[in-house]
Amino acid sequence: MSAPLSTDAGLPGLSTPLAHPGRAMLALGIGSFAIGTGEFVIMGLLPEVAQDLSVTIPQAGHVISAYALGVVVGAPVLAVLAATWGRRALLVALMLVFALGNFASAAAPGYARLNALRFAAGMPHGTYFGVAALVAAGLAAPGQRARAIGLVMTGLTLATLLGVPLAAWLGQLFGWRAAFVLVGAMALLAAALIHREVPAMAAPPGASPLRELGALRNHQVWLTLGIGAIGFGGLFAVFSYVKPTMINVAGLPLAGVPVVLALFGLGMVVGNVLGSRLADRALMPTVGGMLVWSIVVLVAYVFTAQSVVLGAINIFLIGTTVAICPALQLRLMDVAGEAQVLAAALNHSAFNMANALGAWIGGLAISAGLGWTSTGWVGALLALAGLSVFAWAVLDARRRPVGVAKGLVRVVP
């Protein structure tokens, strides 16, 4: 990444380059690492949660949905309420709330309380990623906005490769509550680093809750959100139940679970890197192409999950479908006009709607007796539905062209 900033980068008015933009990116990435670990770790501990709280595994899957719904609700609410906040102060506050939510989750006395606390812990998620994406785009050289967003998202993908397997191992060794303690500690570290390394950035002139709400009048904003909310649900339909599926269908030993989770994380890292580069070159073709790729690998999962080796490889490939995320984030920033914070935050509401939708429908399919591998069919159908929304968005954009937004945030002298 280049240190000088430009109007294309979204930080006009800065006369000198930042001294250490790489450190700011790293701090933002550590925050996304903490949030990514907190979001995904429960998926590797569903049997332990179910046993400890005396519920079924599909019922334990509702804890995933509770967190995701917290993101869905929290992202627009916090983005609108904090429209005039300085970006660094907002990011630090969001990480502190996230840390508190995870420490409280570790102490949850029962199933209902755990669901409520996971909902609360999810509320800062979308706004954090939305604001972090805006800041990262502002630190980017011209023509590299998707790659800058991808760098922030790298923390999320590395969480699935390193953080989630580590937390899952701790959860199996010391109980699932230890995993949330680890996530809370990560969040506190991220808050300290963001405060130290990220430059002070003010909201754009004229920023207000009403202006942010203006994003909701834009057809392309809603269609782009729909692509993520529906089309990305396939990944969660499969990954939410990957541990019991691989154990019960493929015969994977319990000790092999962290390896499978790490392969999924590696796939996400690869997908994030490739997807951000492809999005800078051809934005909408990247979105459509990744939805088609999702359909292919999710259908394949139905047939490969009977084998430890083939199933593990397929889970790696499913992880690569995260390549759609930087592209959708950049598309929202382009079509949102002046309502940048709300639109960027809503992207993660959409992804977590996909999380809730995928985990819920996947659980319904399993509970209905369709088998553990039925989640692959569920996922493929969701990706196909997302592809239909994508086609609608392309046709709508041809009828009503949109311009690219500029001037996202400004640096406080």
Contact criterion met (CB below 8 Å) for 46 and 57: yes
pTM equals 0.73
Residue 9's pLDDT is: 36
- Which helix (H) or strand (E) segment holds residue 204: the answer is none
Residue whose entry in the numeric block shows the structure tokens 């130290």: 196
User: CA gyration radius for the chain?
Assistant: 20
For 15, half-sphere exposure in the C-beta direction (CA atoms, 13 angstrom radius) is 1
In a domain, residue 10? The reply is no
> Quick one: tokens of 200?
């002070």
For the chain, how are helix, strand and coil distributed in percent, rounded to 5?
80, 0, 20
Residue 404's pLDDT is: 46
CA angle 374, 376, 379 (to 5 degrees): 115
CA angle 337, 341, 343 (to 5 degrees): 60
Residue 11's pLDDT is: 41
* CATH number of the domain bearing residue 206: 1.20.1250.20
- Which helix (H) or strand (E) segment holds residue 202: the answer is strand 201-202
The pLDDT confidence band at residue 53, using thresholds 50, 70 and 90, is: confident
Residue 303's pLDDT is: 95
Burial level of 277, CB count in 10 A (0-12/13-18/19+)?
A: middle
> Quick one: tokens of 316?
């790696």
In a domain, residue 233? The reply is yes
The pLDDT confidence band at residue 382, using thresholds 50, 70 and 90, is: very high
> Quick one: tokens of 237?
């339909």
Residue 203's pLDDT is: 66
Q: How many domains does the chain have?
A: 1
In a domain, residue 237? The reply is yes
Percent of all residues in the chain with a pLDDT value above 70, rounded to a whole number: 87
Contact criterion met (CB below 8 Å) for 118 and 67: yes
Render pLDDT for 343-368 as a digit per residue (tens, 0 to 9).
Answer: 777 887 788 788 778 988 998 999 89
In a domain, residue 231? The reply is yes
Query: What residues make up the domain containing 179?
Result: 21-411
The pLDDT confidence band at residue 10, using thresholds 50, 70 and 90, is: very low
**DSSP, residue by residue, 348-388:** HHHHHHHHHHHHHHHHHHHHTTS-TTHHHHHHHHHHHHHHH
Strand, coil or helix: 296: helix
Residue whose entry in the numeric block shows the structure tokens 């209905």: 368
Distances (CA, A) of 333 to 21, 146, 392: 21, 10, 19
- Which helix (H) or strand (E) segment holds residue 218: the answer is none
The pLDDT confidence band at residue 143, using thresholds 50, 70 and 90, is: low
Q: Please state the separation of Cα 4 from the chain's center in Å.
A: 28
Higher pLDDT residue, 408 or 141? Answer: 141
Is the pLDDT at 326 greater than 60, yes or no?
yes
Mean of pLDDT values over 164-189? 88
In a domain, residue 9? The reply is no
In a domain, residue 123? The reply is yes
Residue 402's pLDDT is: 56
**DSSP, residue by residue, 25-88:** HHHHHHHHHHHHHHHHGGGGSHHHHHHHHT--HHHHTHHHHHHHHHHHHHHHHHHHHTTTS-HH
Residue 220's pLDDT is: 86
* Averaged confidence pLDDT in the chain: 83
Residue 4's pLDDT is: 34
The full length of the chain comes to 413
The pLDDT confidence band at residue 405, using thresholds 50, 70 and 90, is: very low
Is the pLDDT at 335 greater than 50, yes or no?
yes
* Calpha distance 74→161 (Å, rounded): 26
In a domain, residue 43? The reply is yes
Residue 401's pLDDT is: 64
Q: How many CB atoms lie within 10 A of CB 51?
A: 12
* Calpha distance 205→128 (Å, rounded): 21
In a domain, residue 3? The reply is no
Render pLDDT for 65-98 as a digit per residue (tens, 0 to 9).
Answer: 888 888 888 888 888 888 778 888 999 999 999 9
- Which are the contacts of 296, defined by CB distance < 8 A and separation ≥ 6? none
Higher pLDDT residue, 25 or 310? Answer: 310
* Calpha distance 163→154 (Å, rounded): 12
Render pLDDT for 287-313 as a digit per residue (tens, 0 to 9).
Answer: 999 999 999 999 999 999 999 999 999
